[in-house]
Amino acid sequence: MDITLTSLETEHSQLLSNKIATQIALEGGWIGFSRFMEMALYEPGMGYYSAGAHKLGAGGDFTTAPELSPLFGAAICSTLLPVLEGLKAQGLPTQILEFGAGTGKLAQSILMRLDTLGFSLDRYDIIEISPDLAERQKELLTASLSNLKSTTQCNWLKALPENYKGIILANEVIDAIPCDVIIFQDDFWYWYGVAYENQKFIWKAGNPVEQDLLPESLLGGNFSKGYVTELHAPANAWMHQVAQHLHTGLFLTFDYGFTENEYYHPQRLQGTLMAHHRHHAIQDPFYLPGLCDITTHVEWSQIARCVLAENADDVYLSNQAGYLLNAGIGDIALEIGNPENPKIFLPISNALQKLLSEAEMGELFKVFAFSKNIGHFLPGHSLEDLPGLGSRNRL
């Protein structure tokens, strides 16, 4: 793969590499992979998400569903609207909080769709750790809000409020939470971390993994020597926190991943860890620290257990294609575009194909939802009665 870097990019990556190497030396020559991933992505002023870089869209490193089409956000509104109307009927504020809002395209499409449907949202808040993305969001949404009939407030928060009553969204957020890597050798699981030798980062096994940290699927499976996979303690802790803070409302997230039995399948020999740079998928997570995104697939079974432990009323998991079709994305496409006009409808059709196709995003990407204290105003009193959540629940 031929990737040409500018001198500033090369210098930036080298400076961060030097800082990570120093950290490895300070910790005795080895760090867990989650520490490496945390520094590569979030080191202040240097990490991939903490320094200025064009991350999303055609000129960035990857494209998300909201970047492909506003239909994605419009379809999500089919799920959100009954919940928002229920909150309003209870005299509660109608508010949405989005984690990691990217360029702001999802927020924009949701705000525009709700406005078209005649619903006046009180607040749309965003928690964004990337300074440059926050600026792009503010620029886009400031212009968009001025064109709406409603007077929605848009704010950027530092943390999720306690006892939050409303809707929480997260599109491709959990996959970027640092994970740990483990390796199976000598009939036991070991931490698989990072060392620095001969001016480069290398994988190196560490201490044995404590048995109580291993999912049940890894305790009794038939795994070959050298089998590598991930553990997700930080992502699970994040989900516990979100579920603790949500008092009344709905959580909805989209991300790629598998349930436990598929995630830890004996044939998935190298785990799911991946880097991305300029729309190239890269197997080596040590490639160009600070310039590459690093992601891992989500293990949804444990995510569900985390929120149920925090008294979630209901949990739901399905694939993105089933969700979007059930949410009426086809009807919305016909509503906003004329099929008899190829110039207008061809881009809509192409976006639908990417969002729904099993070979694109339709199967790999999942929708996960949980609710708290809203059963009394849901249609049918069940999470699965909401538009979009009517496909087979995979949990």
Domain total for the chain? 1
Q: Is the pLDDT of residue 258 over 70?
A: yes
The pLDDT value given to residue 1: 54
pTM for this prediction? 0.94
Strand duo 95-99 + 164-171: pairing: parallel
The pLDDT value given to residue 62: 58
Give the model's confidence band at 341: pLDDT under 50 very low, under 70 low, under 90 confident, else very high.
confident
Q: Is the pLDDT of residue 391 over 80?
A: yes
Average pLDDT, the chain: 93
The pLDDT value given to residue 280: 81
CB count within 10 Å of CB 324 equals 28
- Residues 16-43 pLDDT 10s: 999 999 999 999 999 999 999 999 999 9
Q: What is the mean pLDDT of residues 209-234?
A: 94
Q: Is the pLDDT of residue 60 over 70?
A: no
Give the model's confidence band at 57: pLDDT under 50 very low, under 70 low, under 90 confident, else very high.
very low
User: Residue 171 forms beta bridges with which residues?
Assistant: 254
Q: What is the mean pLDDT of residues 313-337?
A: 95
The string of DSSP codes covering 15-61 is HHHHHHHHHHHHTTS-B-HHHHHHHHHHSTTTSTTTS----BSTTSS
Burial of 187 by CB count in 10 Å (0-12 exposed, 13-18 middle, 19+ buried)?
exposed
Own/partner pairs, 54-60, CB within 8 angstroms, 24+ separation = 55/130, 55/133, 55/293, 56/102, 56/103, 56/133, 57/103, 60/278, 60/279
Q: Is the pLDDT of residue 55 over 70?
A: no
Distance CA 216, CA 212 (A): 9
Strand duo 298-299 + 246-258: pairing: parallel
CATH number of residue 329's parent domain: 3.40.50.12710
Distance CA 395, CA 392 (A): 9
The pLDDT value given to residue 58: 44
Write out the residue range of the structural domain in which residue 262 sits: 1-395
Do 284 and 241 form a contact (C-beta atoms < 8 A)?
A: no
